[in-house]
Structure 1
Amino acid sequence: MLEDIYKVIHERRDVRDEFLPQPLDEAVITRLLEAAHSAPSVGFQQPWNFLLIRDKKRKTQVKEIFDRASAEEAKIFNDERRELYNRLKLQGIVKAPLNLVVTCDRSRDGRTGLGRFHHPQMSAYSCVCAVENLWLAARAENIGVGWVSIYHDDELKELLKIPPEIDIIAYLCIGYVSHFYDSPELEQKGWRKRVPLESLVYHEEWPKNAQ
Structure 2
Amino acid sequence: MKRRTRAAIARVAALAVLALLAGAREAAAWAPLDLEAVPRWGELPVRYHIHKSSIPGPLSGFAAAGIEAGFAAWSSPACTAWQTELLGDTDDGRAFDDGKNVFLWISDVWPDELGAADSIVAITMPVWDADGVIDDADMVFNNVGFCWNDTGEGGCIDVRSIATHEEGHFLGLGHTNVRGATMLGFYPGGTSARTLEDDDIEGVCALYPIGGTAVASSGAGAG
TM surpasses 0.5: no
Which one has a larger percent helix, Structure 1 or Structure 2?
A: 1
Name which one, 1 or 2, has greater alpha-carbon Rg. 1
Which one has a larger percent strand, Structure 1 or Structure 2?
A: 2
TM-score by length of 1: 0.29
